Amino acid sequence: MPGVTASSVQQARQALGRRLREIRKDVGLTARELARRAHWHESKCSRLENGRILPSDADIRTYTALCDAQNQTADLIATARGIEGAYIQWRRMERAGLRRVQQSVAPLFERTRRFRVYQSWVIPGLLQSPAYTRAVLSTVARLRDVPDDIDDAMAVRMDRQRILYSGDHRFAMLIEEWVLRTVIGDNDTMAGALGHLISVASLPSVSLGVIPLGTPRGAGWPVESFTMYDDAQVNVELVSAHLTVTQPSEIAEYAKAFSELSTIAVYGAQARSIITAAIDSIG
C-alpha cells in the first residue's frame, strides 16, 4: 500500500537525477567536465544528479545540449515542473482564502470522467451536506488561520456537486465506518449529513462502499485519504500539505490500493444499514 509523503517528492527528485546521470554517462562526460563546460560550480552536477537540488528549465536545456540529448529536453522539463508542483503546503494554497482553493480544482473536476475516492477522515466532499461542509471548512479555517470566506467557499463546493447529476461522470466512493461515527459539527449536523449520504448514494452515477469496523485487514490497510481523477492524477490529503501524484507508476499503486480496499467494503443495503446504525447511535 502506498504511503506517499514528502519523501515521495525527494524520491522523484532522485529519479530525475539518475536520468541526468545516465544521459551524461552515455556521452562519456565526467560530472566535473560537464560543469566546466556549463560554467557551473564543480559540485552542481553532483547535487543535481543526487536529487539534492531540482534543476531549473535552463539547467536542463544546458545539460541536454552539452550531452547531445536535446530530444529529451521537453520531457525532462515537464518532469521537473511536475515535481516542483507536487507537494504544496496547505498554507500556501489557502493564504488567499478557501474560496480560491475550491475554485482552483473546478477544471479538473469538469474534465474527469471516473472518480475514485477513498476517505479515512471525513465524508467525501461531493457527498457532503451543506451543514457538514460548513463545519469542515470552519474547522480548516480555525486550525490553519486562513481568511474567513467560508460562505463563498461553501457556495463553490455546493455548486460543484452538480456534476453528480450531469454528464457522464462516474463516482466510486469508499469510506471507513469510523468516518460515519466521527461527529463533525454537532449531532444535528452529523445526523443530517448521514441522511444526505444515504440519499446521494442512491444516484445512478454513485457507487458507495463502506469498510466496516473490525474488518480483517489482510488487504486494504488504511492509508491516507486520496482521490483518483481518471488515470491521470491522484490528489492526496496530508496533515500539512496537498500532494499531487502524476507519475504513472505511483498512480498504478493508488489504483491497486483502491482495488484492494474495494474488496473489503460492503455496498447497497449493507452499506445503508451501517449508515443507519451510525445515525441511530447519535441519539
> What is the CB neighbour count within 10 angstroms for residue 268?
12
Q: Hey, what amino acid is at 125?
A: G
Provide the CATH number for the domain around residue 48. Answer: 1.10.260.40
**What's the CATH number where 144 sits?**
3.30.870.10
pLDDT score, position 262: 96
- pLDDT attached to residue 164: 95
Structural domain ending residue among the three candidates 86, 106, 124 = 86
Residues 197 and 129 in one domain: yes
104 with 21, same domain: the answer is no
As a whole number of angstroms, the distance between CA 107 and CA 221 comes to: 31
What is the per-residue pLDDT for 4?
A: 39
Rg (CA), the chain: 23
35 and 153 assigned to the same domain? no
Residue 195 covered by a domain: yes
Helix, strand and coil percent figures for the chain, each rounded to 5: 60, 15, 30
pLDDT, residue 1, reads: 36
- Asked whether residue 52 falls in the same domain as residue 133, the answer is no
68 located within any domain:
yes
Residue 65 and residue 110 in one domain = no
* CA distance linking residue 70 with residue 28, whole number of Å: 16
Query: Using CA atoms, how far apart are residues 102 and 128, in angstroms rounded to an integer?
Result: 14
Task: Clarify whether residues 50 and 111 are in a common domain.
Answer: no
pLDDT in tens, the chain (283 residues): 333 345 567 777 888 999 999 999 999 999 999 999 999 998 999 999 998 888 999 999 999 999 999 999 988 988 887 776 666 555 565 565 555 666 666 788 889 999 999 999 999 999 999 999 989 888 777 766 666 777 888 888 888 899 999 889 999 999 999 999 999 999 999 999 999 999 999 999 999 999 999 998 876 677 789 999 999 889 887 655 567 787 777 888 899 999 999 999 999 999 999 999 999 999 7
137 and 262 housed in the same domain: yes
Q: Is residue 48 located within the same domain as residue 146?
A: no
End-to-end CA distance of the chain: 37
Give the residue among 87, 52, 59 at the shortest CA–CA distance from 73: 59
pLDDT at 3: 38
**b/e burial code for range 160-173 (CB count within 10 A of at least 16 → b):** bbebbeeeebebbb
Other Cβ atoms closer than 10 A to 208: 25
Domain count, the chain: 2
Strands 241-245 and 206-211: unpaired
- Predicted confidence at residue 96, as pLDDT, reads 56
| 102 plus 143 within the same structural domain | yes
Domain ends where: 54, 86, 118?
A: 86
Same domain, 206 and 66: no
How does DSSP classify residue 231? Answer: T
**End residue of a domain, out of 86, 121, 142:** 86
Cα pseudo-dihedral 113, 119, 122, 126, rounded to 10: 10
Domain that holds residue 132: 95-282
What totals of helices (H) and strands (E) does the chain contain, helices first? 14, 7
The answer to whether residue 253 sits within a structural domain is yes
> Is 248 a member of any domain?
yes
With respect to residue 1, please indicate whether it lies within any of the assigned structural domains: no
pLDDT of residue 264: 94
